[in-house]
Amino acid sequence: MPRSLHSLLGLTAAVFIIVISLSGAVLSLNPALERVETVIPASGQVSVAELGGKVAQHYPGAEQIQRTSSGTLIVYYTQDGRSGADRVNPETGQGIAPYVPSAFSRWVKNLHRSFFLGSAGRAVAGIAALAMVILSISGTLLLAARLGGWHQLLRPVRGNLSQRLHIELSRAAVLALLLSALTGVYLSTSTFGLVPEGVEAEPEFPLKVSGAPPAAIDTLSALKTIDLNTLHELVFPYPDDPEDVYSLTTDQGAGYIDQASGEWLSYRPHDVTYRLHEFIKMLHTGEGLWWLGLILSVAALTVPVMAVTGTLIWWARQRSKPRIADNSHANTADSVILVGSEGNTTWGFARVLHDSLVQAGHRVHSAPMNQLAPHYRHAQRLFILTATYGDGDAPASANRFLTRLDNIPQASILPVAVLGFGDQQFPRFCGFAKDVEASLAARGWPQLLAFDTINRQSPQAFTRWGNALGNILGTELTLTHAPKPPSTTTLVLTDRVIYGTDVQAPTAVLRFKADEHGGKTSLPYFEAGDLVGILPPTCQPKRQTPRLYSLASASTDGSLEICVRQHPSGLCSRFLHELPLGGTIEAFIQPNPNFRPATGRMPTVLIGAGTGIGPLMGFIRHNTYHRPMYLYWGGRNPQSDFLYKPELMTYLADKRLTQLNTSFSRIEQRAYVQDKLRDDAPEIRQLIDKGAQFLVCGGRDMAANVMATLEDIIAPLGINVATLKSQGRYREDVY
């Protein structure tokens, strides 16, 4: 519900909210600009009487003195039959410059308050402010749910550029935006009389005055007691009329003063409603609190960016939603298919299963695993098709499934078949699917079909599973699905640096640029830590899976850079090592947003071995803000395969890299990267206390040894690696 409400409001009210925010940013900036040009005397330093006397000297025809919320003093006067208005210095009473209200500010204010549509526009502005309140609250609820609770609200976030930008800006601006929106709703409702607006105090006009000759204004006792910084307005009596009076309005109230005796003739304090209204108005505009105005202005400027990124996030989510025909309602289906997918490839297999069951006469309901219902009224069987994310984690559409499973009553248990999708090169192949199967078995869910797995999206394995399922159901099921190959970009090899030949581990740093003759003159978008998929020309796409390499560069660097070690039986690595300069490859980008440094200034510890240094180099290269970055890296021999050594020395010098720690396994002082971590255990614990994040890249054995070593190091702190993972402070890219 919060996500649907957030998306609906954001999309429907986006234009109005953007207009109100941008115009509000301009108006909120005015108090600070006005404050720069204004002299503010210290509290109690200048009285209204003193100022009035000085103004009377320079403006004999003074009629009125006004003080704005930001402290600007304006005197209205008549001279030689002409009316005028000047800004004056509060310490001298002298004019500074003519006062001319800004036509631009008036135009922006009308746009902000009513869109130039009168009362109807004011109503729309109020509704837009209410929408902003709901968006702020629902967005905060969504973020808390995504990060694992309110106590995790400030933890690092994962996601693509649009997601991270949307979340980081919202976290930074939400309190200011909520304040602005709530006060805006109040002011709007008060305009229409839905809440009391608060009326300025109106004292009774005196029926009797002394009528004596007027005294000098700076001698009037009542005005001597009024601090200038509390003044709103002082209206002078009409010249040569002894029956007229001074009219004074301050922060506290309003009244009339005898121009001869200087005594109060009548006075009425402002009531609570008026003071509340003025206080809320000050919070909304920043008038009277110039520093708050600056905060509100900066916060308002984030709204257009959040509107754009929010729309992009919504559009990406809409595009990624499965399009499944004949999808029966959950309570009418006899077969339910639940899907766990990170990149939506598993949905392709689920769609084939769905269509085949429908053709066989079944009523089928397909949905993400997170939508597991407590009860399916007519369901006879449940299918779970799920991928695994990272090192055995749940994919995005299934990260709440196991929690929901705990709430399923015994009466709702169904026969279930679990099918896992993964890649056997990873140590926890189909790890999440296995966890799901184990949880279902522990809760007594009967097996419809034995647990099975699909390696590298194998169409043959899926067909085999479908045949087994058809035998159980007593119907013929032909499940044929060939995953659509991703669209590729032609890249040209422009540079190659070879390391490791002397230690029988040839490793190449390869740099590619877009093929200017291939129609595209620019690289696809990617960030350091993302993956590039490459398939050698000799491979058959239906029989081979593209080889994925971690990127050591971002597209803004102007080249795509990877670090590749040649393996004796490696078809793709041999192809890349033998590729001549000027040779081309077909490649596609696979985002890997969960493996990159979190935002902020917290220390980052980069750990890798061999070619695992690739993405870590990209992170260091882009550390232009010099956040503390520590690199632990292991190679074989410093004379042969010290990858990126010249660049690392440069980054140490310019402070993009704080500390370099290397270890080599083919020299007399043999050591591995985990040994260096163990040697630096006290320093590692200090970095953890400072909120450090760990990024580990390399082979699975190295990663396992690093994790075991780090467990020992941090045990005295009372935490473990699992805790760091849950906080987003330990991330791996393991192959």
Would you state the pLDDT for residue 86? Answer: 95
Q: Residue 457: what pLDDT? A: 82
Cα-only R_g, the chain: 36
**Does residue 28 have a pLDDT over 50?**
yes
Q: What is the DSSP string of 248-295?
A: EEESSEEEEEETTT--EEEEEEPPHHHHHHHHHHHHHH-TT-HHHHHH
Domains, the chain, with CATH or none: 2-34+105-198+282-315 (no CATH), 40-90+203-270 (no CATH), 322-473 (3.40.50.360), 489-590 (2.40.30.10), 604-734 (3.40.50.80)
Q: Where is average pLDDT lowest: 423-427, 480-484, 491-495, 532-536?
A: 423-427
Q: What is the pTM of this model?
A: 0.59
What is the rounded CA–CA span in Å between residue 501 and residue 505?
A: 6
d(CA 411, CA 127) in angstroms, rounded, equals 46
Mean pLDDT value of segment 652-673: 92
Is the pLDDT at 542 greater than 50, yes or no? no
Query: Is pLDDT of 388 > 70?
Result: yes
Name the pLDDT band for 570 (thresholds 50, 70, 90): confident
Any idea which residue has 């877009």 for tokens? Answer: 514
- How many angstroms separate the CA atoms of 483 and 347, rounded? 10
- Residue 291: is its pLDDT beyond 60? yes
Q: Looking at residue 541, what is its pLDDT?
A: 46
Q: Between the ranges 345-349, 516-520, 675-679, where is the mean pLDDT highest? A: 675-679
| 1: confidence class by pLDDT, cuts 50, 70, 90 | low
Average pLDDT for 562-571: 88
pLDDT (0 to 100) of residue 158: 61
pLDDT digits (tens, 9 = 90+) for 685-709: 999 999 999 999 998 889 999 999 9
pLDDT surpasses 50 at 475:
yes
**Average pLDDT, stretch 520-549?**
76
Query: Is residue 576 within 8 Å of residue 510, measured between CB atoms?
Result: yes
Q: Is the pLDDT confidence value at 13 over 70?
A: yes
What mean pLDDT is reported for the chain? 89
DSSP state of 518: S
Order of strands across the sheet with 381-387? 364-368, 335-340, 381-387, 416-422, 447-455
- Looking at residue 72, its pLDDT comes to 92
Residue 733 banded pLDDT, cuts 50, 70, 90: confident
pLDDT, average across residues 400-404 = 89
The average pLDDT across 262-289 equals 92
Q: With cut-offs at 50, 70 and 90, classify the pLDDT of residue 684.
A: very high
Percent of the chain exceeding pLDDT 90 equals 62
161-165, 281-285, 535-539, 666-670: the lowest-pLDDT one:
535-539
Question: What pLDDT was estimated at residue 345?
Answer: 83
Q: How many CB atoms lie within 10 A of CB 150?
A: 12
Q: How far is CA 224 from CA 199, 431, 477, 592, 655, in A?
A: 26, 81, 96, 70, 61
Is it the case that residue 120 has pLDDT exceeding 90? yes
The pLDDT score that the predictor gives to residue 390 is: 65
Q: Residues 373-402: what's their mean pLDDT?
A: 88
Tokens 């509000």, residue? 24
| pLDDT confidence bin for 147, thresholds 50/70/90 | low
Q: What is the pLDDT of residues 618-634, one digit of tens each?
A: 999 999 989 999 999 99
pLDDT at 391: 64
Average pLDDT estimate for 115-144: 91
Rounded to an integer, the average pLDDT of 345-359 is 92
